[in-house]
Structure 1
Amino acid sequence: MTLRPADDFDAVVTGDRVDPDPAPPAQHRARPVTGRLTALDAWWGRVLSTPRRQRIWTWGGPLFVTLLAAALRLWHLGHPSTLVFDETYYVKDAWSLHNLGYEGSWPDNADPQFAAGRTSIFTPSPEFVAHPPLGKWLIGLGMAAFGPSNPAGWRISVAIVGILAVLLVTLLARHLLKSTLLGVLAGLFLALDGQAIVMSRVSLLDNFVMFFCLLGFGAVLLDRSWSARRLDDWVRRRDRAGRDLAWGPVLWNRPWLLVAGLMFGLATGVKWNGAFFLAIFAVYTVVVDMVARRRAGVEFWGTGTLFRQGPVTFLLMVPIAAAAYVASWTGWFVTRGGYYRQWIETQGGERWKGVLAWVPDVVQNWWHYQAGIYAFNVGLSTPHPYQANPLLWLVMQRPTSMYYLGTNQGQGGCTADRCGEAIAAIPNPLIWYAAVAACLYLVYRLLRHREWQIGLVLTGVAAGYLPWLTYLDRTVFQFYTIAFEPYLAIGLAAALGHVLGGRLDDETRRLSGIRVVGIVVIVAVLLTAFYYPLWTGTQEPFSFINLHYWLLSWK
């Protein structure tokens, strides 16, 4: 079945008459035409009455939300001029990585010196790091471009990928939901959300994971259309030949699966939770292949998919993902000073024996390092004041405070008795809670109508969220949810498309839908304006800051 949310404002319009799409499925057909459009529909029809205007809207809408995202993320990016939260690790590691090819060591209390411009105080002694290097290489590019002593240079890379993610969400949602309006809504929600803004203004790794996984998601979306055409072509040829359809084709020609594997591999090269997306979307691809073959009249559960196409899908996605991950460690391989780089040669490490004795020492050293990273990550349970149990992520129980500086009257321009500068990764409350509620509704629609578009969006949410439920004892944070927040934004836009209704619906119902969507957008914009000082470290009276902590657990 095909998802048909409101294409309302994107239709081909002639004057006040709107031509609906042909022959929608029965359960999705609009209500009988009432004879009149709402004033807003009629006005928008006149606005889009020429192909040129339609093209302007098609590209102008995504461009607008992207520019809005850029303004919210780039304004005063260099403030604060100190390392905040885990920037103390990633920014300094990025700069030593840029200079040495691996992460060097920094002296104690290096943060104030680094922020003051003494950026070369690292030593070639290697440092154990808990995450792969790719995200830090990207941070280092920004520092190389703007200078390591420029705080905006520390953060420009995460800001750029955060801006591009808004554009990407807009385009993917438009393609998926067949509506420029809903695509722009999805991009707008991500552009306005506080957690997405903060994660694009603080130099952590998670924005890169989100971005590469979103690119992989887009590749999987494009693969669906590509593979469906190949399967249809095969079925037509088999039908003309009069042969049995039981086995189905083995589809090697699926370039978008290669792209998806590459993107998920790059995400894993930033943080290992990128591998969750690789595994879940690989399984998703096999499942939808099985469903597509069943609908085409070929074998469903047997060897046609599971034992023929399944391994091919694995070979298309996993090896290139593994190669991308290994390539992210190039600096470690081509230098000799990295952590465990000479574990066997100089640190007394034991070489592998037996059938693995032929493996080069450098590979054995690297594998030992990976084992150390795995042990550290799965065993991390150090208490932290802002840790958040994954079971409570969806209710936003404990957003992460990235930075706080308290001042008294007369300090730094403070005119109240007490002021503060805060960077709190609190999502826009309306967008977050509405998106979670929307996804629960989409689960119902998936079960009721089997809409594949909804299934794909929910798979993105599941890939970013469900695996963390197996690490309830690990120290984790609310901001990890940025990895699946784009799919929440798309899900909210899809649900609002159903609320909006169709342009041919009863006028009263249509007006109600427009009002609801309008109220959601307006309140979301107002909340972003209200919370923006707390997302950017702007000095405000403490009493004003306190108004933003709606739950005691947010403080």
Structure 2
Amino acid sequence: MPLGLLLLWFFALVTRFWGLTRFPTLVFDEVYFARFGRNYLAGVPFFDAHPPLGKYLIALSIWLGGGFHPWGYRWLNALMGSLIPVAVAVLAYLLTGRSRVALLSGLFVALDGLFLVESRYALINISLVLFGVVAQILWLWGLRYQGRGRSLWLMAAGMAFGACVAVKWSGLGFLLGVGLFWVLQQRLPLPAEGKTTYSWWQMCLLLPLVTFVVYTLLWWPHLQFHPHQRLLDLHQQMFHFHRSVASTAHPYCSPWWSWPLLLRPMSYFFQRVQTLSEAVPVIGPPLPMEATRWVYAVYALFNPPLLWLSTLATLALLVLQWHTTAGRFVLLNYAANLLPWALVSRCVFIYHYLPAALYSFMALALVWESSHTWVAWARWLRLAIVGGVIAGFVYWLPLYLGLPLTPEAFFRRMWLRSWI
């Protein structure tokens, strides 16, 4: 298991750091988040619709990375993104005690396209996911202790939950997931640890209190740059901003139910050139398609075979393993991170599916591991699943890394009309 985790981390590091500075321009929401990070360093006030922790981390990345340039504002997010497959593997191991399920869960995350793309730019969804998974690891780990030790681990989990919500409010999905699991399970059998659970006061008082206090304290540096603003007023402004965003405010808006089907990915960067020697980005009007010889594109696209198989596996898990600890935990956290989006009327995007998607990847690993008991040819099915996921990662890799493609090769990768 330790060697497997090390190899998994090495693979994630290479894919996330290779060619990290390829596009010397602000890509997608870097135009906001990277600049907000620089504003903290320069002491420039600004308004942002999200809590501040994600931008603190980008500011730290710029400061430690030597300035406001692509490496400076991207490297820390790439490092955090490389840790997510390892964290997911640890979470899966705590749930199941099975190394194969754990490493396969982490491998699926490492082979996913949207997790890779989000890790390679100065965006904030990766820090949200990392803090959320770490919080759940600490929550599960605390169940191995009794008395004061258990409360200390629960407080550590609360600190991580507070950090998660301080990146985006949608981080509450990770907290909701463990809350639902605690309510419905009540007795959590961990491998080799027997049945144990948190008390009502720990879950209903201590954990929410620590989460709230940490979330509130993380606003303090932001308020130092905005002494004329009050925390309550800022939250009202943020809430009204999100309510005011129309459901069709952006061409890449996609309803929540479409995310598991991968109906509407997003283009983060697109550039047409005539030769590979041209500097990118090109200054001036877009090159006509008939004169285009090469295309540079970065797509917020999950690994299609992985996502579609994971969606099917999540449905299968509901039937096959709802009665198990791991199955119930995965399904409840998947629901907690997806279904609340049905209540949101504003424009939402496929990257909002990242937290739920990682639980669907864990569902695929659980179903994959249990499939050997189904039929005699299940071994070949298991090989086909892993092979299809790897093939999908390799085939769409140019769209994750922004590698040059001919227009014909680009459109061959647009399997659905809605992807364009």
**TM-score, normalized by length of structure 1?**
0.68
RMSD across aligned positions (CA)? 2.4
Superposed CA offset, 1:157-176 (max 9, x none):
22111111111112222332
For 1:272 and 1:500, the matched residues in 2 are separated by: 40
Q: Aligned equivalents of 2:65 and 2:149: distance in 1?
A: 44
Larger radius of gyration: 1
Work out which of the residue numbers 312, 317, 320 in structure 2 matches 1:442.
317
What secondary structure is seen at the aligned counterpart in 2 of 1:420? strand
Deviations 1:107-126 (A, max 9, x none): xxxxxxxxxxxxxxxxxxx2
Displacement of 1:253: 4.3
Within a 5 Å distance, the mapping from 1:441-520 to structure 2 comes to 441-447=316-322, 450-471=323-344, 473-501=345-373, 509=376, 512-520=377-385
| % identity of equivalent residues | 27
Moved more, 484-493 or 390-399: 484-493
Task: Give aligned pairs, total.
Answer: 402
Q: State the secondary structure of the residue aligned to 1:484.
A: helix
Unaligned runs of 5+ in 2: 190-196, 281-290
> How far off is 1:91 after superposition?
0.2
Task: Note if 1:315 corresponds to 2:205.
Answer: yes
Q: Whole-Å Cα distance in 2 between the matches of residues 425 and 162 of structure 1?
A: 15
Secondary structure, counterpart of 1:384 in structure 2: coil
Kept in 1: contact 2:313–2:363 (CA 8 A): yes
2:215 corresponds in structure 1 to: 325
Contact kept? 1:421, 1:539, Cα under 8 Å = yes
Distance 1:482 1:291, change over 3 A: closer
Q: Which residue pairs with 1:287 in the alignment?
A: 184
Q: Is the 8 A contact 1:282 1:317 kept in 2?
A: no
What pairs up with 1:260-279 in 2 under 5 angstroms? 260-279=157-176
- The corresponding residue for 2:114 is 195
Pair 225,155 (structure 1): closer, same or farther in 2 beyond 3 Å: same
Work out the CA distance in 1 between the residues paired with 2:404 and 2:67. Answer: 25
The aligned residue for residue 134 of structure 2 is 215
- 2:11 is equivalent to residue 94 of structure 1: no
Pairs within 5 Å for 1:347-386:
365-381=230-246, 383-386=249-252
Task: Tell me, yes or no, if the aligned pair for 1:286 and 1:310 is still in contact at 8 Å.
Answer: no
Structure 1 residues not aligned, in runs of 5+: 1-57, 105-125, 231-250, 293-304, 344-364
- 2:298 maps to which of 423, 436, 444: 423
Offset of residue 409 of structure 1: 4.6
Distance in 1, Cα, partners of 2:211 & 2:408: 50
Q: Secondary structure at the match of 1:144?
A: helix
1:23-172 alignment to 2 at 5 Å?
Answer: 58-100=1-43, 104=44, 126-172=45-91
In the other structure, the counterpart of 1:37 is none
Could you say what secondary structure the match of 2:168 adopts? coil
Report what 2:413 is aligned to: 548
Aligned match of 1:257 in 154, 160, 184? 154
- Supply the AA of the counterpart residue of 2:398: P
Cα deviations by residue, 1:209-229 (Å, 9 ceiling, x for unpaired): 1111111221232244446xx
- The one-letter code of the counterpart of 1:436 is T
Distance 1:527 1:276 in 2: 29
Aligned to 1:433: 308
C-alpha deviation, 1:291, in angstroms: 8.0
Deviation at 1:70, TM superposition (A): 1.1
Deviation at 1:81, TM superposition (A): 0.9
The amino acid that maps onto 1:87 is E
